Amino acid sequence: MRYSLEAYVGFLIFTILIDFLLHRLIHNDREQPLSRFAFPLGTFWFISVPAFYIASFSTIFALIQTAESALIYVVFQWLLTSYLAIYLPKLFYYLGHRLTHHAIRIKSRFAGNGQFKKMNEGRYPTISRKKFLSQVGILMASAPFISLLFGVMKGRFAFSKRYTKLSFPNLPAAFDGLKIVQISDLHLGSLNANYKEMEEAVQLINDEDPDLICFTGDLVNNFYEETIGWEKIFSKMKANVGKYSIMGNHDYGDYSKWPSKQAKADNLRKIKEAHERLGFTLLNNSSELLECEGEKIAVTGVENWGHPPFPQYGDLQKASKGTEEIPFKLLLSHDPDHWDAEVTKKFDHDLTLAGHTHGMQFGIEFKNFQWSPAKYKFRRWAGLYNIDKQYLYVNRGLGYLGMPARVGMPPEITVIELTRGPLGTEPM
């Protein structure tokens, strides 16, 4: 609640500020006197567009607290997309215009003439400084618009497989070569019946012929109704040994006020049943032992455990009961903060699989370079991490929340192969 209030206040300040600055910029930059109608018309757009978004987001912010249906999330995500499609270009236009303006001023000062020099030495038709700045602004503004458009049209379903090979000396020989596929953060309500696209993801998973499929939480945004109809897709996922899942912070119905305790409890019960209906064995602070040729490994799943405001329902002590003597332990825990806070400090799980961050659905990843705004919010936000003998893998999510788009952070299917050998990663 506190975080959504902060986001709402941030949205108000940003919207009013950017429109005010842009209006002033365009007003000051005009080269010819405006016609009788142009100024009132321009002012109308600079008032009506922010007024529409402020009114709409305020209504949603008020309604979402007591919403009883997943529909409000769908309305919110498309409203947010249209807002970003307008306001990100506005921001980039302003930044492009102002930064170039200051760069030219500094350059002119060093050149000693204090004037803007024509850029093209007479080879092309000359343009004024104001026109040049406005064209730079338009060029800058088109970048976020095109990226967002691509992220909505293609990026959100451009599934990407990421392969990791991990070697552990304590992995029983019978499990050498165990192949795990991890998926996370489906947020079914956001997918909005895009069954065909997710069928493709299921096919990509089955193509791996996995031994285990692990789903690391956030099946829904908030409501069990979101799961209806998805059984026909996810029941097609095949694993040789088993399919396991855990609860994520969104799976408890904590993101709305319910008319009664009973209504919330019913929603929670039905979400848990949905994990099973979709074909997963839900590990709710519990473990399963897998046996092969007389050797055993443990798969443990905890309920959500995160730093506030995220809930701490997870009880790893309870979940790990009965696994004390097992030589190799796999842990599913939705929130990667749990790994630093508890797993590496008090427990000996060899490999933890987490999700939750979505890589903020936006970033740049190229070879060993990784950047996303997620890195400023989460200590472990994507990929593989290691402390001593313990490993953590953070999946970037298969679905999306809020913005129905992914830009530079494609929906992920993680494929991990476990081998017996000296501790470490191996090239695939």
Question: d(Cα 188, Cα 300) in Å, to the nearest integer?
Answer: 24
**Minimal distance, residue 63 CB to Fe ion, in Å:** 21
Report in angstroms how near the CB of residue 226 gets to Fe ion at its nearest: 13
CB nearer to Fe ion: pick between 100 and 222: 222
Least distance in angstroms from the C-beta of 401 to Fe ion: 6
Q: Which residues contact 53 (CB under 8 A, 6 or more apart)?
A: 15, 79, 83, 87
Decide: helix, strand or coil at residue 318: helix
Contacts of 357 (CB under 8 A, 6+ apart): 336, 374, 377, 378, 380, 381, 382, 394, 396, 397
Collapsing DSSP to helix, strand or coil, 244 comes out as strand
Whole-number minimum distance, CB 255 to Fe ion, in Å? 11
Tell me whether residue 93 or residue 244 sits nearer to Fe ion (CB atom). 244
Phi, psi (5° rounding) for residue 239?
-135, 140
Q: Read off the DSSP letter of residue 34.
A: P
For Fe ion, which is the closer residue by CB, 185 or 208?
Answer: 185
Compute the Cα dihedral for 387, 307, 247, 228 and give only its sign. negative
Cα separation of 9 and 27, whole Å? 27
In whole angstroms, the minimum distance from the beta carbon of 373 to Fe ion comes to: 15
Question: By C-beta, is 184 or 285 nearer to Fe ion?
Answer: 184
Nearer to Fe ion, 15 or 221 (CB): 221
Alpha carbon distance 331, 360 (integer Å): 23
Return the CA Rg of the chain: 26
Binding site for Fe ion (CB under 5 A): 185, 218
**In the complex, minimum distance from the CB of residue 53 to Fe ion, in angstroms, rounded to a whole number:** 25
Token digits of residue 325: 């003597």
Q: Which is nearer to Fe ion, 218 or 342 (CB)?
A: 218
Question: In terms of CB distance, is 179 or 375 closer to Fe ion?
Answer: 375
Q: Dmax over Cα atoms in the chain, in whole Å?
A: 88
Nearer to Fe ion, 182 or 320 (CB): 182
> Least distance in Å: CB of 355 to Fe ion?
6
Gap between the Cα atoms of 10 and 28, Å rounded:
27
CB of 298 to Fe ion, least distance (A): 25
The two three-digit tokens of residue 192, written as one number:
């909005």
Q: Please choose, from the candidates 252, 231, 220, 259, the residue with its C-alpha nearest in 3D space to the C-alpha of residue 74.
A: 220
Minimal distance in Å, beta carbon 323 to Fe ion?
27
Identify which of residues 97 and 162 has a Cβ nearer to Fe ion in the complex. Answer: 162
Residues ≥6 apart with Cβ < 8 Å to 217: 184, 185, 245, 246, 247, 248, 249, 250, 251, 304, 332, 334, 355, 356
